[in-house]
């Protein structure tokens, strides 16, 4: 006898329509394989046009979400409309009606996660959201299930396909503008790409992953720097030094504090993250007992994401317990205290003593220099490239402030953080 | 109220002892996080010495497995003794006693999987075995859960830490013998490494993964070639051409047939598998709707493996249903029909016409040459390196047979398969 899961689907856009496709194509094999029979009881969208596909498939439809809420047969609401409202209210209302919720909405989870998880537990129902982070990569399941017996200490992620596509293409010779245009042509970047390229999408995803991994309440205040200032020459310099630039999400738990940040990062070309190309996403988890696990796959797309939503439905047919997410308040490390190695690029007048001044400013702030290169040019200014040993963001800010007052330094120092994964 | 899972542990060797460590260290956080309380009711080992650690921890012990079987409180038997017997009998007896089973025993699963899964379903209990393949990589869970709504079409795996360690070190300049010795020193290879280096361990793991992925009954008859014939010069040649050699497990489902094989394989240096180094394992799954997912992590080790066993216990506390594994009989593609690109290395006498003869033999068998290099030497023989377009194993065997009769060919042709992941 199959376990029956009765589903109401809200939002029939790209992913919602993909869910219809997958259920049509794979319901039989799913039941055979898992013993779970998925019944799509009704679909809802405020647009009549979007409802048409469901109607064609013989699925009852409505433009009013309340109809799903009041339908006693429905045990699971799938929210696929995106954005903050009405998605947030729909999720809360569904949970209060004691229906399980599946969502792909990272924005709502990053902002209202604590409220949503508490409401779910109060009503003894589950919230599943594998599709919210990393597309088809089973990252939520891996953190919540595979790592349930271990303590995660570090998370590194390439969590945004748009920026990874742009950086990959820049590594192949395109300018930022060319790469962005290409990404838009291929549907990997939106007309207004700012949410992605400024790193905000990545920061929301990191907030969700870090919350789950560290059992911690994490808000949206994560230090976030996007890729818009990365130039072709940054990428070329990195390459020369044996590095690749990626927009990295980093979360670490150490001494009870959590370090969180999103920024363009130089990583060794030999690290497997360096080969995570184009629209692919990747997550590296480091556990106290398991060591490192790397997961990678397509971070977006209609069918990959819809498949993951359907997997969450199957999961609800297989669970006996409601996931506990009793997240605790944690101390987030102030960003000035975060340490890494830095690469600095400066353009200075070709005059004696300037380099000594820069070195002195760094030394004054306890930063020691690991490598330095000054190339010969025929210009009035010379480019200086400097790699530091580990130092804090606070130390670096002070040092830059000190040497930037020197009039022979012609441009603001360009700073790139280096991650050695140690 | 926590869900209680009452466990009996059989086998207190390396991994079993790790399970004791993890339960001691993490039981509290596991219960808090997952709502599952793990009670280790009793432990069993035939060696009194091995039992000592459990005794110290206040866990009741026995040297007789039947005591666990007859203990009504125990709902889950963990089998960690390895090998075929008595592991196989213990698992079957436990299932017949309607106890769930967790095992890390790939050998038993590869050989007796069909019997074990049938017995489990008959008795309405679960068999979990995440630790049997890929160490701490959540590969079983990913295939059975994340891919439950998709159809897997291809599996590629680096599934054996010993051989991957040896090939990595050979890539860094060591000879096969030096690399093996280093692996033995570091505990990555056994005193008698033949099971690993001949590819048999990899083949057993592939059999398990392919069975799950394709819902298919797969025996142990997989074409298997180990790494013992790989020389330093193979690796150097591959490098020159932009490839890396890995011991790859390959399974593909196409037109109702399943292709299965394990052999040293040239893969592009830019593929992320090329950076899976040393004792790390990796699996690449390709699904009809999800596209590619890559998973990587440590393939062995006491704590990584023990952590995964404990995760399986938690899973048993969370499941409502028994996993269906109604595997079907499938057609395994005859190895002669399997196609790939090949690299051939030949040592021939430096006389006119030889190359033409080789090309003719290949052509006679429908194999076309994609690239060819013949280097100048001061010796009497010249090395010829040939890369073919796609051809079948059968075609290649015939062609080699044809040109090997030429007396000017001084050595058996060395053959390496190339995988382009297309």
Residues 273-292 (A) with a CB less than 8 A from some CB of B: 274-276, 282, 287, 289-292
The CATH class for the domain spanning B139-297 reads: alpha beta
Asked if B150 has any chain A CB less than 8 Å from its own CB, the reply is: yes
Q: A319 in contact with B at a CB cutoff of 8 Å?
A: yes
Q: Which CATH number fits domain A3-132: 3.40.50.720, 3.30.1360.200, 3.10.129.10, 3.40.50.1370?
A: 3.40.50.720
Between chains, do A314 and B137 touch, taking CB under 8 Å as contact? Answer: no
Sign of CA dihedral B20, B26, B31, B36: negative
Q: What is the mean pLDDT of each run of 10 residues along chain B (422 residues)?
A: 92 95 94 91 95 95 96 97 95 97 94 92 92 92 90 97 96 95 91 94 95 87 94 90 96 94 95 90 95 91 93 85 73 94 91 88 95 80 91 96 86 91 86
pLDDT of residue A324: 66
Q: Which of A240, A312, A215, A229 is nearest to A264 (CA)?
A: A229
Distance CA B282, CA B214 (A): 19
User: Which one of the listed residues B99, B106, B200, B205 is annotated catalytic?
Assistant: B205
Is the pTM here over 0.95, yes or no? no
Of the candidates B275, B297, B310, the beta carbon closest to that of A291 is on B297
Whether B153 and chain A come into contact, CB under 8 Å, resolves to no
Produce one character per residue of B176-205: b if its CB has 16 or more CB atoms within 10 Å, e if not.
beebbeebeeeebbeeebebbbbbbbbbbb
Domain coordinates of chain B in residue numbers?
3-132, 139-297, 335-418
CA distance linking residue B365 with residue A53, whole number of Å: 52
Residue A320, pLDDT score: 59
Positive or negative: CA dihedral A103, A106, A110, A111: negative
* Sign of CA pseudo-dihedral A240, A241, A244, A246: negative
d(CA A339, CA B269): 33
From chain B, pick out residues whose CB is under 8 angstroms from the CB of A32: 215, 324, 326
- The question of ipTM being above 0.95 is answered as no
Burial bucket for residue B127 (CB in 10 Å: 0-12, 13-18, 19+): buried
A314 → closest Cβ in B137, B148, B318: B148
CA atoms within 13 A on the CB side of A89: 4
Q: Cβ of B141 and A145 within 8 Å?
A: yes
A47 touches B: beta carbon within 8 Å? no
Distance from CA of A270 to the nearest CA of B (A): 7
Q: Say what the pLDDT of residue A413 is.
A: 87
B293 interfacial to chain A (CB closer than 8 Å): yes
> Does B301 contact A293 at a Cβ distance shorter than 8 Å?
no
Is B307–A315 a contact, with Cβ atoms under 8 angstroms apart?
Answer: no
Dump the DSSP string for B15-67: HHHHHHHHHHHHHHHHHHHHSEEEEEEEEE-S-HHHHHHHHHTT--EES-HHH
Which of A3, A290, A307 is facing B297, going by the closest CB pair? A290
> For residue B45, what are the contacts with CB-CB under 8 A and spacing of at least 6?
B10, B11, B12, B13, B16, B51, B61, B63
Interchain CB distance below 8 Å, B35 and A321 = yes
Residue A205 known to be catalytic? yes
**Residue B181 pLDDT:** 96
User: Which pLDDT score, from 0 to 100, does residue B321 have?
Assistant: 61
Instruction: Verify whether the Cβ–Cβ distance A148 to B33 is below 8 Å.
Output: yes
Place of tokens 């409505």: A62
Most B-contacting residue of A102, A131, A149 (CB-CB within 10 A), to test interface: A149
Q: How far is B211 from chain A (nearest CA, A)?
A: 12
Core vs surface per residue B140-161: b (16+ CB within 10 A) or e: bbbbbbbbbbbbbebbbbbbbb
Question: Closest partner residue to A320 among B276, B308, B318, by Cβ?
Answer: B318
Q: Which residue of B has its CA nearest to A272?
A: B275
Name residue, tokens 């049997």: B132
Tokens 């869970």 identify what position? B141
Contacts B292 to A, Cβ<8 Å: 297-298
Contact state of A303 with B296 under an 8 Å Cβ cutoff: no
The topology (CATH level 3) of A139-298 is Dihydrodipicolinate Reductase; domain 2 (3.30.360)
Interface touch A138/B142, C-beta < 8 Å = yes
pLDDT on residue B324: 66
B75 in contact with A at a CB cutoff of 8 Å?
no
Helix ranges (DSSP H) in B281-328: 302-316
pLDDT lower than 70: segments of chain A: 220, 319-324
Question: Residue A383's pLDDT is what?
Answer: 86
Buried b (16+ CB within 10 A) or exposed e, B36-50: bbbebbbbbbeeeeb
**What distance in Å separates residue B355's CA from the closest CA in chain A?**
38
Q: What CA–CA distances, in Å, run from B54 to B45, B46, B78, B310?
A: 10, 13, 15, 16
The highest-level CATH class for domain B335-418 is alpha beta
The pLDDT assigned to A1 comes to: 76
Please tell me which of the candidates A147, A303, A315 has its beta carbon nearest to residue B145. A315
Question: Which residue in A has a C-alpha nearest to residue B27's C-alpha?
Answer: A149
Report the C-alpha gap between A274 and A239 in whole angstroms: 11
Model pLDDT for residues A244-284, shown as the tens digit of each residue: 999 999 999 998 899 999 999 999 998 889 989 999 999 99
Which of A205, A246, A252, A253 is catalytic? The answer is A205
Q: Does A146 touch chain B (CB under 8 A)?
A: yes
Alpha carbon distance B246, A190 (integer Å): 39
Subunit contact A150:B307, Cβ cutoff 8 A: yes
Distance CA A412, CA B4 (A): 61
* Three-class DSSP category at B4: strand
Size of interface A-B (CB pairs under 8 A): 191
Task: Give CA torsion, residues A193, A196, A198, A201, to 10 deg.
Answer: 150
- CA-wise closest residue to B18 among A150, A315, A261: A150
């Amino acid at each position: 006898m199959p376990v029956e899961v009765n589903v109401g689907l809200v939002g029939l856009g790209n992913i919602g329509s993909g869910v219809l496709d997958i259920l049509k194509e794979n319901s039989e094999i799913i039941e055979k394989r898992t013993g779970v029979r998925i019944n799509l009881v009704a679909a809802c969208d405020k647009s009549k046009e979007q409802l048409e596909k469901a109607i064609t498939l013989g699925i009852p439809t409505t433009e009013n979400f309340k109809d799903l809420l009041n339908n006693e047969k429905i045990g699971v609401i799938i929210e696929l409309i995106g954005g903050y409202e009405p998605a947030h209210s729909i999720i809360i209302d569904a949970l209060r009606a004691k229906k399980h919720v599946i969502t792909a909405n990272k924005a709502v989870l990053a902002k209202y996660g604590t409220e949503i998880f508490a409401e779910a537990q109060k009503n003894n129902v589950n919230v599943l959201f594998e599709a919210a982070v990393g597309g088809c990569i089973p990252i939520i399941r891996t953190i919540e299930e595979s790592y349930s017996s271990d303590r995660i200490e570090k998370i590194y992620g390439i969590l945004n396909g748009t920026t990874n596509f742009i950086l990959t293409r820049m590594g192949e010779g395109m300018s930022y503008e060319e790469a962005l245009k290409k990404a838009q042509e291929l549907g990997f970047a939106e007309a207004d790409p700012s949410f992605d390229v400024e790193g905000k999408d990545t920061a929301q995803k990191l907030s969700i992953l870090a919350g789950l991994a560290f059992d911690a309440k994490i808000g949206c205040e994560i230090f976030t720097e996007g890729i818009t200032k990365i130039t072709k020459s940054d990428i070329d310099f990195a390459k020369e030094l044996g590095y690749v630039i990626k927009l990295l999400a980093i979360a670490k738990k150490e001494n009870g504090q959590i370090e969180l940040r999103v920024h363009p990062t130089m990583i060794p070309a030999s690290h497997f993250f360096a080969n995570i190309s184009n629209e692919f996403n990747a997550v590296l988890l480091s556990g106290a007992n398991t060591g490192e696990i790397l997961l990678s796959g397509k971070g977006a797309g209609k069918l990959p994401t819809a498949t993951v939503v359907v997997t969450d439905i199957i999961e609800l047919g297989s669970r006996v317990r409601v996931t506990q997410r009793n997240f605790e308040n944690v101390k987030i490390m102030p960003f000035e205290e975060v340490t890494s190695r830095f690469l600095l690029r400066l353009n200075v007048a070709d005059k004696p003593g300037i380099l000594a001044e820069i070195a002195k400013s760094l030394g004054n702030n306890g930063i020691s220099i690991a490598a330095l290169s000054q190339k010969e040019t025929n210009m009035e200014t010379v480019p200086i490239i400097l790699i530091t040993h580990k130092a804090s963001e606070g130390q670096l800010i002070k040092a830059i402030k000190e040497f930037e007052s020197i009039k022979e330094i012609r441009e603001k120092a360009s700073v790139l953080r280096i991650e050695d994964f140690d």
